[in-house]
Structure 1
Amino acid sequence: MIKLILSTSLLLSSFSTISASLTVEEQRIEKASTAMPEVLAAFSKEITQFEQRWKNLKSYKQATDLVHDYSSQLWLDAKQRIITSKSYDDRELYWARLLSSKTIRTTKPDFPITSAEQSTLLTLLENGSRGRTDLAYSKSTNKKILLTGFDPFLLDINIDQSNPSGVAALLLDGQVITHNGITAEINTVMIPVRYEDFDQGIIEQLLAPYYALNNVDMVVTVSMGSKEFDLERFPGKRRSVTAPDNANIVYGGTATAPLVPSLNDRPLPGSEFVQFSLPVKQMQQAQGQFKINDNHKVITLMKAFEAKTLAELEGAIAVKGGGGGYLSNEISYRSIRLHDQLNSDIPTGHIHTPRIAQFEPETEAKIVQQIKAMLEQSLVAL
C-alpha cells in the first residue's frame, strides 16, 4: 500500500500549483488518490513514461504520433488488464485517462504549443483511450454488434464508483459470440458522462457511418440503471434531472420544465419520443440472476404511464423516456433518432443494467455475463 501511495503521489506532485488549470474531472484526482490509491496506480508506469516522453517532444507532429499511439495502447492495455486480472474494474482506465490529460494540459513539451493544438491532442487522447480508433471488425463472423458503455459518474457522491456498462465495454470488445450456429463479433466504445460532448454530436459522429451504410447488425447502448435489467422501449427527447454530469454541469431541465438538448449549437431535432427495435423476446430468454424487463414506462407533462404503442405518445411532451431524463436515456434517443433519420434497418436500443454501490466485482461479473447472454440470444433475430 505504501508503494502504491508513493507511486500515485509522484503523479500528483505538482497538483497543488496547477489545480486552477485542470478540468472538474481532473480536479478529483487528488481525492481519488487518497480514497483508492491502488486504482490510480494501476497505470502509473505507463503514465510516468508518457510524461517523460511528452516533456522531450520537439514538434507537434511528434506529439500527435505519441498521443495517438499511447492512447490506443492505453485502451488495449486496459482491456487486457481487466481480462487477465478478472477484477471487473473499469475505474483504472477512467482515472488513467484523466492523469494523462492532466499531463497534456499542464506539462510543457520542448516546443511551443498552441491552445488549438493542445485541444486536438486531448481529443486524440479521448478517442484512442475510449476505443474509437479500435473500431474494426476483423473476425470472420456472420454478424457484427456495436456496443457502448459509460464512464463512472456521480463521483462527488461516491468517488470510488464503478459502472457495469464500462466493465461490459472493456470485457466484450473484440469477443466473438455464438448461438445456434450463428457467430457475431462485438466492438465497443466508452462514452463520457458529459452534456457538452453530447451537445457537440459525439453520438451522431460515432453512429452515423454505421446507420448510413447499414454495415453492422445491431447497435446496443448500455448504462447503469436500477434494480433489474430494463430494455428501454420509448426513449424521450428531453433532459429533466437535476443530477450533474461529470463536469458538474446541471443542464437545468426539471420535471415541470424539461429541456431539449442541443446538436452542434442548435436544438436537437426529432419527435418527443422514439421506439427501440431490439429483439426483446429473444433477449428476455437470457439466463442470469436478474429479471429482464421490457420497460414501457414514460412520463409526459400530462401523466406517467406505460405506453403500449408509440402512437399513444403523439403530441405529448417528454419529461422522462423509458431510460429517464439523463444521458443514459439520451444516448438511446439520439441513436434511435439518427437510425430513423437515415432509414436504417439496424436493430437499435438501450439496456439499463442493475445498479451497483461503488464497486461490486462479483455483481458486475454476473451483469456482464447476462449482457453477453442477451446478445447471444438476439443473434437468431438479426
Structure 2
Amino acid sequence: MKIVTQVKLMPEADQAAALLTTLRTVNDLACWVSEVAFVNDVPREYELRKHTYAHLKAEGLGAQAAQHVIKKVRDGYTTLHANLKAGNYGKPGSTHRTKVESKPIAFRPDAAQPYDDRCLSWQYEQQTVSIWTTAGRIKNVRFVCSAEALKTLQQYRKGEADLIERDGVLYLVATCEVPEAEQYEPDGFVGVDLGIVNIATTSTGYQAAGRGLNRYRKRQLALRATLQKKRTKSAKRRLKERSRREQRHAKNTNHVISKTIVTEAERTGRGLSLEELKGIRTRVRLRKPQRVALHSWAFAQLGEFIVYKAKRAGVPLVFVDPAYTSQTCAECGHVDKRNRVDQGLFICRGCGVVAHADRNASHNIATRGETVWNAGRESRVPATP
C-alpha cells in the first residue's frame, strides 16, 4: 500500500534561494514543453523527448531533471485526456470543454517537481538531504518531521519524492510502500452512513455530528466574502494567511472520524461496509444553498482515509450500493419513500418501527456488506465426485 509522508525543509538562505530558483526554472520549462506538445500534437513521451530534450539540457537541466520535466508534462496530458473522456469538463462543444481543449496545459511556478534517488538522497540520522538544483547539488539541507514520519521514511520510503513550495515554505513529499496487515475473518460488519448533517453514523452507535464543521465553514465563507469586498492590501494579506485553513481543519476532522471508525471495527473483530458514493456531485440535484454544503464536503477524502487505515489495520472492507438505504426499514425490509419522514426521523409504514434515519440506513448498509462479503468468499461446499 502506497502512502505519502511529508517533511518540512529548513534550508539556509542560499539553499532556499537555489531551491526556489530551481522550482521556477523547471516549471517555466515545463510550460514550454507543454506548448511544444500541444502545437506539434506529440502523443508519446519518447517522441516528445526528441523535440525537447536537447533544449532542456541547454537550459542547464541535468539529464534526470530533464526527463522528469518531460514525463511531468506527458502525465499532465494523460490526466487531461482521461478527464475529457470521462466528461469532467462537460460535453463536447460546451464552453468549458472548448476552453480547456483550446490551450496547452500550464504549470504554476510553485508546482511540484519529482525527484528520484539519483537527484535526491536522504540522511535520516542527521535529518538532512542532498538535492539537485540548477545551481548544482546542495548538501546538508535540514528537514523536520514527526518521529513517526521519520520512522516510516526509514523503513518504507520507495520511489520518487516531490519538491513543493507552499506559502513560501518548502516541503518534500515522499512515497512510502507500507505493507498491509493480514486481513482477518470478520464477525459481522459495521455499516457506515455518510452525510452532511451527520458526517458519519455507524450501526454500532457512533455518530459524528457535522454541526460544528458546518458552522465553521459558514463562518469562513462569510469572512472570505467580507475580505474580498474590501479589496485592500491588508484584506488580500489576510485572505492569503487564511488560505487552506478550512481545508486543514476538515482534513483533521476526517482523520479523527476515520480513525475512530476503524479502531471500533478492529476492536470488535468486525469488517466495515461503506457506501459507493462515486459521482454523487453529478447525480444529485440540489437547490443553490445546498450545493455549497455538498461541494465543500470532503466525503471522498473521508472514504479514502477509512480505506487506507482499514488496510493498515487488516480490517475487511467492502463497498455496497447505497440505493434506497434511507427508505428501507432495517427491521422488516419494507421500502417506501414516505418512510423517511424528515432528515432525522424514520417511521416504517410496514411495521411501524421508529428510528433515527441515519442509524437505520447504517444498519441496512451493514446488512448489505455481509451479503457482499459472503458472495465474494470461496465456496466451502465439497466438490461433486
**If the TM-score is normalised by the length of the shorter chain, which range does it land in?**
under 0.3
Normalized per residue, which structure has more strand? 2
Give 1 or 2 for the bigger CA radius of gyration. Answer: 2
TM-score, normalisation: structure 1: 0.24
